[in-house]
C-alpha cells in the first residue's frame, strides 16, 4: 500500500469500523436460527462489505468536518486532513465513492431496508452528530450514540428484511454502553477537548459530575445486558458472561467515581472495549452452542 493510500485508509478509522462490522455480524448471526446456509453466508458477506464501506465513508466525512479540531488534539493531529496533506475535495470525493459503493451493494444485493437504514445511520453520524450535536451540546455522545448503536439492527435487517425486538435489544445495549465508554476517554483527554472547544461533559460540567454519570450509566447498562437472557435470546452461558462483565464495568465506574485518577480512567476505557466485544462474542457462542439446527 502506497503512503497516499495509507492516508486514505487511516481516515476510515479501521479499528472503529471493525467493531461496527463485528456488531452488525452479531445481528446477522442471531437473526438466523442455527447454522447459516451458503446463500445466507454470501448475503452476510456482501452486507458486511456494504456496511463497512458506508461506515468508512462516515468516518472520512467526520475527519473532513473536524480537521480543525483534530489539529488541536494530540490523539488526532496526525491525520492527513488535520495536517493538510489531503485536500477537502479529495477527502469528500473519497467519502462519496465509499458511500455510493456501499449503498449500491446493499440496495442491489441485500435489500432496500438495509440500505436505507445504513444511509440513515451515515446521516445521523456524519451530519446530525458531527456537524450539529457535537459542537453544540455536552449530551452529544448520548444523542449521537443512536447512530453508533445501529450496526446490530443493520445486520438483522440484512438477513430478515425487517427489524425485530431482538435487534432493538442489541441496539439498546450499545446505546447505553456508548456514554460511559466515551466519557471515560474524555476524562483523561479533557485538556485536548478544552483546547478544541468541544463541549464534552468533563469540560462543561466538570470531572466529578462526569464520573457520577459514568457510574450511573454502567448500572443501567447492567440491566440492559441481562435483557437477551430475559427475552429468551440466550441461555445461561450468555447470562454468566453478562453478569461478570457488567459487574466489572460497574465496579470500574464506582471506583472511578469515588477515587479518580487518569490511570483508572484509561483502564475503564479499555475495559469498556473488552466489555462490549466479549459480551457480544458470548452471545454468538451461546447461539451456536445451545441453539444449533
* pLDDT tens-digit readout, 173-220: 999 999 999 999 999 988 888 887 778 889 899 999 999 999 999 999
**What percentage of the chain reaches a pLDDT higher than 90?**
66
Q: What is the mean pLDDT of residues 89-113?
A: 96
The pLDDT, as a whole number, for residue 1 is 66
Give domain 1-163's CATH number out of 1.10.357.140, 3.30.40.10, 3.50.50.60, 3.40.140.10. Answer: 1.10.357.140
**Stretch 148-154: mean pLDDT:** 94
Please state which architecture CATH assigns to domain 165-293: Up-down Bundle (1.20)
pLDDT-derived band of residue 138, with 50, 70 and 90 as boundaries? confident
Q: Residue 293 pLDDT > 70, yes or no?
A: no
Task: Provide the percentage of residues in the chain whose pLDDT is more than 70.
Answer: 99
Asked whether residue 143 carries a pLDDT value surpassing 90, the answer given is no
pLDDT of 81 reads: 87
What pLDDT score does 291 carry?
Answer: 60
What residues does each domain of the chain span?
A: 1-163, 165-293
Mean pLDDT of the chain: 91
What pLDDT score does 272 carry? 96
The model's confidence at residue 140, banded by pLDDT at 50, 70 and 90, is: confident
Q: What is the mean pLDDT of residues 55-59?
A: 94
Return d(Cα 211, Cα 215) in angstroms, integer.
Answer: 6
Is 196 or 37 the better-scoring residue by pLDDT?
37
Confidence of residue 136 (pLDDT cuts 50, 70, 90): confident
Residue 4 pLDDT: 81
Residue 75 in this model has a pLDDT that exceeds 70: yes
Amino acid at each position: 500500500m502506497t503512503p497516499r493510500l495509507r492516508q486514505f485508509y487511516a481516515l476510515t478509522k479501521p479499528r472503529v469500523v471493525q467493531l461496527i462490522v463485528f456488531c452488525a455480524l452479531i445481528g446477522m448471526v442471531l437473526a438466523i436460527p442455527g447454522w447459516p446456509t451458503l446463500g445466507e453466508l454470501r448475503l452476510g458477506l456482501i452486507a458486511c462489505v456494504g456496511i463497512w464501506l458506508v461506515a468508512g465513508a462516515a468516518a472520512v466525512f467526520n475527519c473532513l468536518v473536524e480537521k480543525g479540531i483534530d489539529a488541536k488534539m494530540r490523539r488526532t493531529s496526525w491525520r492527513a486532513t488535520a495536517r493538510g496533506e489531503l485536500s477537502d475535495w479529495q477527502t469528500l470525493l473519497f467519502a462519496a465513492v465509499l458511500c455510493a459503493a456501499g449503498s449500491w451493494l446493499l440496495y442491489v444485493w441485500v435489500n432496500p431496508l438495509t440500505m436505507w437504514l445504513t444511509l440513515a445511520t451515515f446521516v445521523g453520524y456524519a451530519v446530525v452528530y458531527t456537524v450539529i450535536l457535537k459542537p453544540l451540546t455536552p449530551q452529544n455522545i448520548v444523542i449521537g450514540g443512536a447512530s453508533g448503536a445501529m450496526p446490530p439492527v443493520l445486520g438483522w435487517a440484512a438477513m430478515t428484511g425487517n427489524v425485530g425486538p431482538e435487534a432493538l435489544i442489541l441496539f439498546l445495549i450499545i446505546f447505553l454502553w456508548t456514554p460511559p465508554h466515551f466519557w471515560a476517554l474524555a476524562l483523561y483527554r479533557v485538556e485536548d477537548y478544552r483546547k478544541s472547544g468541544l463541549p464534552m461533559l468533563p469540560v462543561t460540567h466538570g470531572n466529578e459530575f462526569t464520573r457520577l454519570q459514568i457510574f450511573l450509566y454502567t448500572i443501567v447498562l447492567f440491566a440492559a445486558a441481562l435483557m437477551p437472557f430475559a427475552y429468551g435470546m440466550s441461555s445461561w452461558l450468555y447470562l454468566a458472561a453478562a453478569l461478570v462483565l457488567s459487574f466489572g464495568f460497574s465496579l470500574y465506574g464506582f471506583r472511578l467515581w469515588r477515587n479518580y485518577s487518569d490511570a483508572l480512567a484509561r483502564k475503564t476505557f479499555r475495559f469498556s472495549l473488552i466489555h462490549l466485544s466479549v459480551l457480544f462474542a458470548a452471545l454468538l457462542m451461546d447461539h451456536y452452542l445451545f441453539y444449533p439446527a
